[in-house]
Structure 1
Amino acid sequence: MTSKWVGRGSPEGLLLGVALDALLGDPRRGHPVAAFGRAASALERRVYADSRARGVVFSAVLVCGAAGLGVVAEKAARGRAARAAVTAVATWAVLGGTSLGREGRRMAHLLENGDLDAARRRLPHLCARDPDGMDEKALARATVESVAENTSDAAVAPLLWGAVAGVPGLLAYRAINTLDAMVGYRDPRYLRFGWASARLDDAANWAPARLTGLLAVACAAPGGRAGRAWRALRRDGAAHPSPNAGRCEAAFAGALGVRLGGVNVYGGRVEERPELGDGRVPETGDIRRAVRLSTAVTLAAAAVAAVGAAALGAAVAASGRRG
């Protein structure tokens, strides 16, 4: 029976992992994702070349290695309680929803106190934009957009993959997302080498981003903005240059009653992003609202993941009995 469950999510483990993330957040030292990043950097130094083929090998080795570690961990866990415990630890290790909320609230606190210099220094913890010269509203918009986009990356996507593929799915997704953050850029060094990591991240986030948008619509309902969030998601979600980020940002824009998008600067490169939503320009007070919405979406995603994992497990068990 144990072998049939390998690679299937544990509903109890996923929910317990979400609770651990809410209580503990990310560890300040010895974070497993940081250890993976150091291993990836070491491998990059050995295999890097201005080549897509080398990038494919780089991504494949690391993602398959992470998934393989998950398979070993699940096979070593015998019994439902052990599987739940292993899943909980893996879920806690890969989730970043609590840390995302903390960063958002920290930015809100700095802007509420008028400390623009400190807010500019803090912004790189959330996104890769150049903060120099940003005023309060620009910083608020950047923070709201980052909270919206990263709700999918930090919480919804790992939970979805954990439900579908268990611990291997959790670890493989976090590996994919981390590699995209490390090498998935369009600069001269990584345009070719990072191509595979960027495309793999796009594929892994396709379903989670759309689920994030739908959950944002659902979670907007108590405030009466569900209809506006749905319209923004349908109308503007595909306008973003990213195949996934626009779905999250558009739904959040509608739910919060703000307008996202505009001019962004990355490493001196200016990009004009399409407008998402039809509300006002975000203000400092909208950051805390975005964080609360992100938390609600994360909890909703945890419920969806647990139900999905339970349904998948029941289907696998029924298939085994018929066989």
Structure 2
Amino acid sequence: MSEPPGTFGPMKTLAATRPDAIGIALGAVLDALFGDPRRWHPVAGFGRFAGALERRLYADNRTSGAKFTAVAVGAPVLAALAATRLTRDRPIARTVLMAAATWSALGGTSLAREGRVMAARLSAGDLSAARAQLPNLCGRDPSALEPPELARATVESLAENTSDAVVAPLFWAAVAGVPGIIGYRAVNTLDAMVGHRSNRYARFGTASARLDDATNLIPSRLTAALTVAAAPLVGGRPSEAFRIWRRDGSHHPSPNSGQCESAAAGALGVRLGGRNVYGTRVEQRPHLGDGRPPTPADVRRAATLTTAVGAAAAALAVAARLATTRRRRRKPTHR
């Protein structure tokens, strides 16, 4: 259906030439204002779809896991490609589509909010409430953790998830538009569902875990670089954050998490890493940084880093998409 003359005014003029860039900006603003959608979250719907697909395709081998990953990621990407094609000549619809995809994929505001809740509970000395808060941030067993370990777990989760829930979705939105951001969120959700180490998923989840590693390779390092730049906002020094990142970034067992966590450790002046308990599994992680153990105040500073890095990443994503649009408009058409 065509839009009547004058509809949306200046918004229509902007969207006509820059729908993806405007959509990314609007989605980031919606996340900043409201956080994650509280009802009918698309990621929850995708999780139900992936769960049903897993029940049909599961077998304890890597081939089945690869088929599962291909279908679970391919289906939403194909749907996003179709929606993008349908809105190609409808700039307002294209803008709304990108804004909705961006908002649904971002989690920075909710992530920082959960971190501040933990800081408040630790500051109040409410250990039981702090332990109850930790599952909102990571999968560690909080039952025996004392305040310093709860603070460390929160800072590490904020650092890692600033990449997973903020920078990476924006990066893929800038690189590949709506299909990119939808595809990334599908990959990251699958990693959370089947990519962890367990008897059931040791082989079946390999493809999902490896694909998640690959899609986060650049975003995790971009997150670290933005964390270095944002260090003065939390009382840190970029030179120290950069030094710790370069020295300790590869010490983590994950090829990506260590990049974000080491840069955050340097920016905050704290030491991360140590003994982590995940149910019956215990992991001894290498130490990152030279500082003291994190405190509740450091948790609040880490939440500030999440917000600052997210804002910078959003600005970069909008700028990158604008540059892509300009290049396409300048490209000569051969008939």
Contact 2:270 2:291 in 1 (8 A): yes
2:220 aligned partner: 209
**8 Å contact kept, 1:9–1:164:** no
Q: Is the 8 A contact 1:51 1:193 kept in 2?
A: yes
Alignment partner, residue 293 of structure 2 = 281
Q: How does 1:139-158 map to 2 (within 5 A)?
A: 139-158=150-169
Is 1:23–2:23 an aligned residue pair? no
Identity, in percent, stands at: 59
Q: Deviations over 1:45-72 (max 9, x none)?
A: 1111001111111111011111111112
Cα shift at 1:114: 1.2
SS at match of 1:275: coil
Q: Could you give the per-residue CA deviations for residues 163-215 of structure 1, whole angstroms, max 9, x where no partner exists?
A: 01000001000000000000002211001100000000000000000000000
1:48 aligned to which of 54, 58, 80: 58
1:89 pairs with one of 100, 108, 129: 100
The counterpart of 1:180, out of the listed 176, 191, 215, is 191
Higher Cα Rg, which structure: 2
Q: Which range moved further: 138-147 or 24-33?
A: 24-33
SS in 1 for 2:290: coil
Q: CA deviation at 1:224?
A: 4.8
Q: Return 5+ residue gaps in structure 2 as ranges.
A: 1-17
Verify the 8 A CA contact 1:184 1:195 in the aligned structure 2.
yes
Aligned to 1:318: 330
TM-score for the superposition, normalised by structure 1:
0.95
Structure 2 counterpart of 1:297: 309
Does the residue aligned with 1:148 lie in a helix, a strand or coil? Answer: helix
Tell me how many residue pairs correspond in the alignment: 316
**How much does 1:99 deviate?**
0.9
Residues 148-176 of structure 1 deviation map (CA, whole Å, 9 limit, x = unaligned) = 00000000000000001000001000000
Q: Match for 2:281 among 254, 257, 269? A: 269
Q: Is 1:250 the counterpart of 2:262 in the alignment?
A: yes
1:160 aligned residue (155, 168, 171): 171
**Quick check: 2:156–2:272 contact (8 Å CA) kept in 1?**
yes
TM-fit CA distance, 1:318: 2.3
- Larger mean Cα displacement after TM superposition, 135-144 or 73-82: 73-82
CA 1:313–1:260 in 2, change beyond 3 Å: closer, same or farther? same
Q: Which runs of 5+ in 1 are unaligned?
A: 1-7
Letter in 2 for 1:253: A
| Alpha-carbon offset, residue 82 of structure 1 | 2.5
Q: Secondary structure at the match of 1:10?
A: helix
SS at match of 2:39: coil
Higher relative contact order (CA 8 A, sep 6+): 1
The answer to whether structure 1 residue 241 and structure 2 residue 248 are counterparts is: no
2:149 counterpart (135, 138, 149): 138
Contact 1:9 1:166 in 2 (8 A): no
Q: Which residue of 2 aligns with 1:13?
A: 23
Kept in 1: contact 2:187–2:211 (CA 8 A): yes
Change (3 A) 1:135 1:40: same
Alpha-carbon distance in 2 for matches of 1:33, 1:272: 32
**RMSD, aligned CA:** 1.4
How many Å apart are 1:131 and its aligned residue? 0.8
Cα distance, 1:119 vs structure 2: 1.3
Bigger drift between 102-111 and 286-295 goes to: 102-111
Q: What amino acid maps onto 1:297 in structure 2?
A: V
Normalising to structure 2: TM-score of the pair? Answer: 0.91
**SS at structure 1 position matched to 2:301:** helix
Aligned to 2:204: 193
8 A contact 1:9–1:165 mirrored in 2: no
SS in 1 for 2:331: helix
Is the contact between residue 236 and residue 269 of structure 2 (CA under 8 Å) also seen in structure 1? no
